[in-house]
Amino acid sequence: MQFIDLKTQQSRIRDRIEANIRAVLDHGQYVMGPEIAELERRLAEAAGIRHATACASGTDALLMILMARGIGPGDAVFTTPFTFIATAEVIRLLGAVPVFVDIDPATFNIDPDQLDAAVSGFDPEAAGLTPRAVIPVDLFGLPADYDAVTAVARRHGLFVLEDAAQSFGAAYRGRNAGALGDAAATSFFPAKPLGGYGDGGMCFTDDDALAEALVSIRVHGMGADKYDNVRIGINGRMDTLQAAVLLAKFEIFPEELTRRRAVADRYAEALEGVVVPRVPEGYRSAWAQYSILAETGRHRKAIQDCLAAAGIPFAVYYPIPLHRQTAFRSLGYQEGDFPVTEDCAARILSLPMHPYLEPADQDRIIGAVNGTKC
């Protein structure tokens, strides 16, 4: 059994993938070939946004957007400690400081009330920092509460960067992931709902000036051409071959999202003794992961042992919150600063989730979690 089954997906579209790759081999434009512009056009249309800028990874997408906004030393950026390190890593790479905010226990996303308290209580003079932005994370494929987050951001003049690394294909109150903040970043790492065969990412925005800056930053801050450098940038280009693979995968992406929802529904109906993920009314998850909460850490270990005995893969996202990571020790956070995050990290467990999970295999997983088939 696979935690994420990419082989079955590939078998469905192998001919299309190979045809797209052959087209790249034929025209030979391995960097910024025509497939890049086509992918940008199609994904911008899918997100309902004017501009999409392809780049080398989801991390680069976050980094490029912060660079385009001029985020740097002396700036504070609010975000969640319950996420992959890339979200806060890019803040530190630019010399800015992440200010962590606890999460909602039902959605695992940043808690808007806690955000409001953190921003309202922030003392720029004492901290020596200027609040500049907030990065909500659409964890496991479920969008954050953007109406509430944006209301806080607007009151305090903060830029909202949607970390949609796991949520492309999701929706929030009639709007699609990628179009929920002032800008958004997504990832095409192979394990994502829409993943390539390597790294890749995309920036989304309706802001014309921001989009223009992103195109420049992606290629070493180029101006009229790559030898006219008008700002400091990075080498953030997506390989044309990755765009070719993604274009083939995108053809079946809507169907795969439907299949993911069916898998999630079966889990929710049958799992017992654990807290299953909740999708609020008006939201649609992309179901990048299916993450449950055990009753206690000991209960999680018992479930893990049962899954392992049955040969069923599992994962823990994320066992160590960011405020407790060695890389962020200098920020001065202590254990207990974010109790909801720490509680979830001690009890969370992710089960196999992909569009090709057979009902019989899912029954095995459910039986192991419920303790009936160890």
Q: CATH number for 6-250: choose from 2.60.40.1180, 3.30.465.10, 3.40.640.10, 3.40.50.170.
A: 3.40.640.10
Q: Amino acid letter at 346?
A: A
CA–chain centroid gap for 350, Å, is 15
Contact 244, 24 (CB under 8 A): yes
Helix 86-93 vs helix 58-68: angle between axes, to the nearest 10 degrees? 40
pLDDT at residue 374 in the model: 65
For residue 226, the model assigns a pLDDT of 83
Phi-psi region of 169 (alpha: psi -120 to 50; beta: other; left: phi over 0): left
Distance CA 225, CA 216 (A): 9
DSSP 8-state code for residue 277: P
User: By C-alpha distance, which of 6, 40, 70 is closest to 178?
Assistant: 40
SS3 110: strand
User: What CA–CA distances, in Å, run from 241 to 16, 41, 203, 250?
Assistant: 13, 17, 18, 14
CA-based Rg of the chain, rounded to a whole angstrom?
21
What are the extents of the domains in the chain? 6-250, 253-370
CA–CA separation, 328 vs 92, rounded Å? 9
Q: One digit per residue, pLDDT tens: the chain, 374 residues?
A: 999 999 999 999 999 999 999 999 999 999 999 999 999 999 999 999 999 999 999 999 999 999 999 999 999 999 999 999 999 999 999 999 999 999 999 999 999 999 999 999 999 999 999 999 999 999 999 999 999 999 999 999 999 999 999 999 999 999 999 999 999 999 999 999 999 999 999 999 999 999 999 999 999 999 988 899 999 999 999 999 999 999 999 999 999 999 999 999 999 999 999 999 999 999 999 999 999 999 999 999 999 999 999 999 999 999 999 999 999 999 999 999 999 999 999 999 999 999 999 999 999 999 999 986 66
| pLDDT at residue 348 in the model | 98
CATH numeric code, 253-370: 3.90.1150.10
